[in-house]
Structure 1
Amino acid sequence: MLAIPLWIAVLLGQVSLKLTISPVLWHAHEMLFGFTVAVIAGFLLTAGKAWTGLDTPRGAVLAALAGLWLAARLAAVFAPYGVYAVLDLLLLPLVAAILISVLLRAGSRRNVPLGVILLLLALANAAFHGAVSGLIDIEPVRALHAGLALIVMIECVIAGRVIPAFTQSALPGVRLKVPPMLEQATLGTTAIALAVWVLGPAHVFSAAVLGAAALLHVLRLLRWKPMRTRSRPILWVLHLAYAWLPIGLALLALAQLGVLGVSSGIHALAVGATGGLIIGMITRTARGHTGRPLKASRLETAAYALVACAAVLRVLLPLLAPQHLVIWLVAAAAAWGIAFALYLYVYSPWLVSTRLDGKDG
C-alpha cells in the first residue's frame, strides 16, 4: 500500500530517502524480498500445517519472524547497509528450515521442493547483497532477476494446484483435467526458460524457450476454463492473474530479441501475475481462516480490478503511448495503493479477532 506510491514519489523527485543503495535497486529488492517473500512465507507456513497436520510457528515465534521482517524493511531506509543486509538475510533461511523440517517429519516429500526453492531464494538474496557490497563480481540486477524467476516458479507450482481445485469446488459440475504431460512440459520448459534468461546473454534460443513456455501456460490456463468463472470474482482474479504469466514470458522473449526493453516483461510478471495472485490469495485464505464465506464483496472485487488496472497501466500502456509514461506510472501506483488499502480496511478487523465459528485459525 505504501511502498509503491513512495517509490514513484522518489522516482519523480518528490521525496528524498537516505538509502545506502540506489533507489531502483531498493525498489526492486523490497518488492521481491520484502513484500512478495513475506506473502510466500506466510502462505507456505499456513499451508504446511494443512499439508502435514503439524504445528508451524505461531504466537511468540511467529511474532519474532514478523519482527525480523519488519526490522529489515526499516533498516533499508534508516540503518547502515551492513545492518540492513544482515537483518535481510536471516528470514528466508529460517522459514525454509522450519518448513522443510515440518515436511520431512510428516513425510510430505512432495512439498519439499518448495522449501528448496526458499533456500534458492535465500541464495539469490545473498548474491544480491554480495554484489552490492562488492564481494561478488556480478550485477545486482541479475540476482534480482533470479529472485523473480524463483518466485514465478513457486507461483507456477501453487497455481497449478489451487486454481483448478478452487474452480471445481466453486462451480458444481465443472471437472478440470490437465494432462500430466502438459503439466510437466509447462513446469519444465518454464524452469529452463527462466534459467536461460537469468544466467545467459540475450539470444534467439532463450527467446524461443521463453516463447514456448508462454504458449504452454496459455494451453494450461485454457484447460482450467477461465471463462466459466466470470460471475465469481474470487475465482476470476486468480485466472486473470495467471494470464499475466504467459504475457510476461512472451514480453521477455521479445526483449531477448531486442524488440523492447526487459522492464515490460518483468512488470507483467511482478505486477500482473504476482500482484494479482497475491490479492486473490490473501483475500480467499483470510476469508477461509476467519470462518467467512468464500465470496468477494464489492470492495474486494474493486481491489481485484484495481490491481489488474495497475498491471495494464504499468505494462501495456507505456508500450502503446510511451510519451505519457509519467502519467501511467502515477496512475498505476495509485491503483495499486488503493487496492491494498481496501484490503487493509476490510480485513484488519477480521484478522485481529477470533474466527466467527470459534475454531482455531
Structure 2
Amino acid sequence: MSTFIKPSKNAQEKTQITPYYAALLSADKPHELMITSKQWHIFIAAPHRVMFFGGALQAIAVMVWLLTELLTRYGVLWHPIPWTITPSAAHAWLMIYGLFPLFMFGFLMTTYPRWMKGSEIPPHRYVPAFVLLMLGAVSFYIGLLISHTLLIVAIFSTLSGWILALYALLRVLLDTPHQDKRHPQLIFIALSLGWCGLVAYLIWLLGDNAVWLRFSIQGGLWLFLLPVFSSVAHRMIPFFTASALTHNYIASPYWAWWVMLVASAGHGLLKINDASAWLWLCDAPLAIVALHLTHSWGLRRSLKFPLLGVLHIGFAWLGIAMLLFTAQSFMLFISHGKTFIWGLAPLHALTIGCFSTLLIGMATRVTLGHSGLPMKVGNSINLMFMGLQLTAMLRLLADMLPMQAGHWLYVAAGTVWLACFGSWAVRYLPVYWRPRTDGRPG
C-alpha cells in the first residue's frame, strides 16, 4: 500500500501543471477531446481504477435490480416482471460472479506485484478483462428482461474477461523470484475455482439441470469467495493492525488459515451433495478459529482507526455467520432434517456482514493510498461503514421474523445498501479519472 506523503508547495504547484494540464495547454487537438483522451489514460493507468469503477457501478445496479424485483413481485409498484430466469438464480449470479470479482481483481492486480516484488501489471492485460467483465454484466441485465440467449452471451463474455484477469495474475506469479507465495497461490486457485463455478452456471443455462446451478452457487460461495476473502484478511489485517497500532508483530498463524480454507471447502462439498445436516462439522471449527483471530488481532483497539476498524468488523462477521450456520445445521441434525431455522440469515451475515464490509474497507484503503490522498476518512464515509452494518442486521432480521414483517425489512435493507454504496460512489468514482495528487504514476 502506498503511504501518503504531503508534497511541498513547489511540488504541489508542479503537480497541478504537469503532466495533465500542461498536455492540455500544449495540445493541437480541440480542448474537449484532449480532456477525454487524457482522462481515459488516467482512468486506465492502474487496475484498481477501472475495476473499482465497474464494481461500484455494479454494487448500485444489483440493488436497483433487486429492489425492482421485490417491489414488483408483491405489486407495490407494478405487476411482477417476467424475468427470463428465476430471480433467485439471477440474484446469485449478480452477487457472486457479477459484483465481487470486479473488486477482487482490482485489489489483487494492485497487490500481487507488491506482495511478490514484481513488475506492475500493464494496461493491455487488465483493460480488456475489465471491458469483457462489464459487457457481461450489462448483457446479463438486458438478458434478464428480453432474452435467455443474451444471458448465455453475457456468461461467455464474463468467462473471457475472467480468464484474461487470471492470466494477468498468473504472469506475476510466474515472473517473480522464488519466495513465499502461499497466499497468492491459494487465492489464484480459488479464483480459478470461481471460473469453474461460472462454467457450471453456463451449463445450467444451456440445459436447465438444477445440479449445475447448485454447484455454481455453493461452489462460488465456499470454494471461491470465502477462500479469497479469508486469505486476504489473514495476510493484510495483521499487517495493517501492526502498522496502525505501532506493534512490531501481530500473530497470524498459518494453521488458522488452513482450518478456514479446509472448513470452507468442506462446507461447500457437503452443501453441493445436499448434506446440510452435517455442515456443523465444518462450520463449528471455522467459527472458533475466526472468533479466535478476531480477538487476537485486536478488534476493540482497532476501532480507534475507522479504516482499520471496518476491516476488523468485517472479519468479525465471519465468526458470527459461522456460529449461525453451526446452530442452523445442528438443529437440522438433531431434528433429522425436520427443523430449519433462520432461513438465509447465516448466508447474509456472511455475504453482507463479512464479504461486503471487507470489500468496501479494502477498496477504500486502496483508493486513498493509490491516489495520493491521506489515509483518513470523514464522517460521511464512517456513516457509510455503519450503514453497511445496519444493512446486514436488517437482512438477518428479515429472515428471522415472520414473513409479513420480513418483506419490508428486505426493502429496508436494500435501500440502506443503495444509500451506502451510492454515497461511496459519489465520493470516490471521480478519483479514478483524476491524476494522483502526489504526481506519481498509477
Could you tell me which residue of structure 1 aligns to residue 68 of structure 2? 9
Alignment CA distance shift 1:336-1:231 (3 Å): same
CA contact (8 A) 1:194 1:210 kept: no
CA deviation profile, 1:90-139 (whole Å, cap 9, x unmatched): 22222112211221111464322221211110001111121232175615
**Which of the residues 163, 185, 196 maps onto 2:259?**
185
**Partner of 1:12: helix, strand, or coil?**
helix
Residue 296 of structure 1 aligns with which residue? 377
Indicate the larger mover: 230-239 or 182-191. Answer: 182-191
One-letter amino acid of the counterpart of residue 74, structure 1 = V
Q: Is the contact between residue 125 and residue 165 of structure 2 (CA under 8 Å) also seen in structure 1? A: no
Q: From 175, 191, 204, give the equivalent of 1:105.
A: 175
On the 8 A contact 1:93/1:118 being kept in 2, the answer is no
Shift of 1:231: 1.7
1:285-313 Cα deviation digits (max 9, x unpaired): 10000111211211111111111110000
Quick one: distance in 1 between partners of 2:113 and 2:247? 30
Quote the offset at 1:45 in angstroms: 1.1
* Aligned-partner residue type, residue 246 of structure 2: P
The verdict on how the C-alpha distance between 1:294 and 1:213 changes in structure 2, with shifts beyond 3 A counting, is: same
Q: Quote the offset at 1:189 in angstroms.
A: 3.0
Classify the secondary structure of the residue corresponding to 1:219. helix
State the shift of 1:175 in Å. Answer: 4.0
1:145 maps onto 2:218 in alignment: yes
Structure 1 residues 87-96 or 14-23, which shifts more? 14-23
Q: 1:245 maps to which residue?
A: 318
CA distance in 1, matches of 2:214, 2:254: 35
CA distance 1:105–1:211, shift in 2 (3 Å): same
Take 1:62 and 1:88, find their aligned partners in 2: how far apart are those partners? Answer: 13
Distance 1:27 1:187 in 2: 25
Residue 81 of structure 1: aligned partner: 151
Match of 1:66 among 105, 130, 137: 130
1:130 to 186, 203, 228: 203
User: How much has 1:322 moved relative to structure 2?
Assistant: 4.6
Provide the rounded CA distance (Å) in 1 between the counterparts of 2:244 and 2:440.
23
| 1:214-229 mapped onto 2 (5 Å cutoff) | 214-229=287-302
Alpha-carbon distance in structure 2 between the residues aligned to 1:12 and 1:73: 22
TM-score for both structures, normalised by structure 1: 0.92
Higher relative contact order (CA 8 A, sep 6+): 2
1:255 Cα deviation (Å)?
3.2
Choose 179-188 or 137-146, whichever is displaced more: 179-188
Instruction: Tell me which residue corresponds to 2:118.
Output: 53
Partner of 2:363: 282
CA contact under 8 A between 1:20 and 1:76: conserved in structure 2? no
| Farther-moved stretch of structure 1 (305-314 vs 87-96) | 87-96
The letter for the 1-side match of 2:67 is: I
Specify the code of the residue in structure 1 equivalent to 2:241.
Answer: T
Please provide the CA RMSD for this pair.
2.2
**TM-score, scaled to structure 2:** 0.76
1:5 partner letter? V
Task: Give 5+ residue unaligned stretches, structure 1.
Answer: none
Aligned pairs (5 A) from 1:162-181: 162-173=236-247, 175-181=249-255
In 2: Cα distance, 1:187 partner to 1:180 partner: 11
The residue number in structure 2 matching 1:121 is: 194
Deviations 1:123-164 (A, max 9, x none): 011111212321756151331121011201111111011111
Q: For residue 400 of structure 2, what is the aligned residue in structure 1?
A: 319
Contact in 2 for aligned 1:142/1:198 (Cα 8 Å): yes
Residue 264 in structure 1 maps to residue 338 in structure 2: no
**Residue by residue, what CA displacement relative to the aligned partner does 1:33-77 show, whole Å, maximum 9, x if unpaired?**
01101111111111122223213142x543322221111111113
The aligned residue for residue 30 of structure 1 is 94
Deviation of 1:262 after TM superposition, in Å, equals 4.6
**1:61–1:174 distance in 2 versus 1, CA, 3 Å:** closer
Residue identity over aligned pairs, in percent, reads: 25
Q: Which AA in structure 2 matches 1:66?
A: F
In the other structure, the counterpart of 2:433 is 352
Higher Cα radius of gyration: 2
Q: Which runs of 5+ in 2 are unaligned?
A: 1-59, 144-149, 333-338
Alignment-mate amino acid for residue 92 of structure 1? W
Distance 1:244 1:313 in 2: 14
CA distance in 1, matches of 2:65, 2:197: 25
How far did residue 323 of structure 1 move?
A: 3.7
How far is the alpha carbon of 1:327 from its aligned partner? Answer: 1.9
Mapped partners of 1:275, 1:180: distance in 2: 24
Contact 1:96 1:116 survives alignment (8 Å): no
Q: 2:269 corresponds to which residue?
A: 195
Structure 2 CA distance for aligned equivalents of residues 62 and 181 of structure 1: 34
2:387–2:420 CA contact under 8 A, matched in 1: yes
Counterparts of 1:316 and 1:175 in 2: how far apart (Å)? 38
| Counterpart amino acid of residue 93 in structure 1 | I
Query: What does residue 273 of structure 1 align with?
Result: 354
Q: Tell me: CA distance 1:70–1:181, structure 2 relative to 1, closer, same or farther (3 Å).
A: closer
Measure how far apart 1:356 and its partner are.
1.1
| CA deviation after TM superposition for structure 1 residue 199, in Å | 3.6
- For 2:213 and 2:267, how far apart are their aligned partners in 1? 20
After superposition, the Cα gap between the structure-2 partners of 1:186 and 1:31, relative to the gap in structure 1 and judged at 3 Å, is closer
